[in-house]
A and B are shown apart, each in its own frame.
Chain A
């Protein structure tokens, strides 16, 4: 019997590599450190060692963070979802219209007031899932690029939001609906969503297929994965998470109004990419996105803290979004060189 001892391993020696999220974490520490220093220079005060400020930073980003979780799984499949902010607005209007109190003389549906909180939440999530499903069907079956399909949904959903009440804001929700957004509830909801999707992406078939489709769609297909059905599911879930963000945001503000969620999708993409998810697909994690979200919050709050005017902040935000993508391209090139 011939032996197979000649089949020695070809390749590099075994080497422990740090998880990619580690670099993002270091980035967070560096950026927070810079603002801490600047804080002492400009204000003579600590930026970080203030529990109230830190909790506000996280509170401010957690609604977009919910969208970013959905965005992460979409980007891992190699796609993009530009409709998140508009879907958020559309679902906020529709959910709020079923959450109004009867004492409100200008309720959208005067006969449908004081409903239990489950009704507006279920309707809102349903609308978001449906919008996401339409994105998914377009992308999976008509093969139009995700960029175009979700751009169409972005315009359409914004149109639905404005048409729904002819531009009138919808206010005065029931107490139980409003409680969804009060206090630290948005952070708690984000945390639950993030843990859930971390588990889904890391330990279930859903995650395995998501990474496989983004990594090599052809390989996924010949391996027997139903790529179309999976993409529909991924986009539908992303739409559902945008709807959840819309419910939380409208509950927090106790109103749904035009202009809600504008450019949230871009901020969610920025959080995702800062967190190490690759726009070419196949790579990324919820831990990374959570760190990216905190970095995003630290930067925006940090600029406010050191008294950079709101106008400059928008400009800087644009630079951060482009910078995050440049960073991704640079990472790809580094990887290619090895």
Chain B
């Protein structure tokens, strides 16, 4: 892979009291690249995601995003910088419809009257239709409340929401964990669409079949450390599993810079 590095962490470390959840993680992601973050439960995957999305602040280490050192104090700051995250627990308001959810917190308004500004519903509806077309999601009635939708439709809305705002990076934490076969396929199609559009992605997943189908490069976490980063084409499921479980060690940092 070449192209400029969009996200890089240096010795990123997070301790919760005495628990070393993440130790000296050196990670990098290039423009247009799709990578997976895999590892056993408690390997530090979600901790890693929480540091780079501003949900938590790292104990030590640095994060470089889009060429600059960043210190996100909140997910909103990360989002403003161009990092969109699809969280494991769906961050949707159940009683609102699709456009309202897509534009939650960044509504289109006619003219600024502070909190009493009038919503430009038509513009939001048009841009929602556009965004769903771009991600290939079909939802029969966009005015329907999220509450009345299936798990797959909800996840598609959540992902479209992240994908439709011209972001520099999308992070998905287990996007298909709670979905059925058909719904999973739908989400995977959206991810392929992002690849075609050149939007970089970090996919946290337990599903190795999915990882091999979708990403260019796989980062393996074990017990709070990055133990390997391998190109999808140069590895197989057995190697990944042995890195995850720790049967095979020592590839570590060398593998990361092949």
Contact = CB atoms under 8 A, between A and B. Distances in A.
Given A10-B152, A222-B87, A216 B116 contact: no
B185 interface: yes
Contacts, number: 107
Interface string A1-20: 11010111111111000000
A211 B76 contact: no
Given A4-B189, A208-B100, A282-B94, A203 B140 contact: no
Nearest to A15: B141
A222 B140 contact: no
Contact of B118 (A203, A212, A214): A203
Nearest to A229: B115
B188 to A, nearest CB: 10
Interface string A206-217: 101101101110
A224 B140 contact: no
B137 A212 contact: no
B105 A205 contact: no
A212 B104 contact: yes
A233 interface: yes
Interface residues of B, number: 46
Nearest to A280: B95
Nearest to B187: A7
A11 B149 contact: yes
A6 to B, nearest CB: 6
- Size range of the chain A interface in the assembly: 35 or more
Contacts of A204: 113, 115-119
Interface in A143-175: none
A200 B137 CA distance: 32
A142 B91 CA distance: 24
A2 B213 CA distance: 14
Contacts of A233: 115
Nearest to A224: B105
Interface string B180-193: 00110110011011
A67 to B, nearest CB: 21
Interface in B100-154: 100, 104-107, 109, 113, 115-119, 121, 136-141, 147-150, 152-153
Contact of A209 (B89, B115, B121): B115
B256 interface: no
Contacts of B90: 219
B76 A222 contact: yes
- Among A209, A218, A224, which residue has the most Cβ atoms of chain B within 10 A? A224
B93 interface: yes
B115 A7 contact: no
Given A12-B148, A205-B115, A224-B79, 15 more contacts: A7-B136, A7-B190, A11-B149, A204-B118, A205-B107, A206-B116, A212-B93, A214-B95, A215-B93, A216-B92, A219-B90, A222-B87, A230-B115, A233-B115, A335-B147
9 contacts: A2-B192, A14-B141, A200-B116, A205-B117, A208-B96, A208-B100, A218-B91, A220-B104, A225-B104
Interface of A: 1-2, 4, 6-14, 200, 203-206, 208-209, 211-212, 214-216, 218-220, 222-225, 230, 233, 282-283, 335
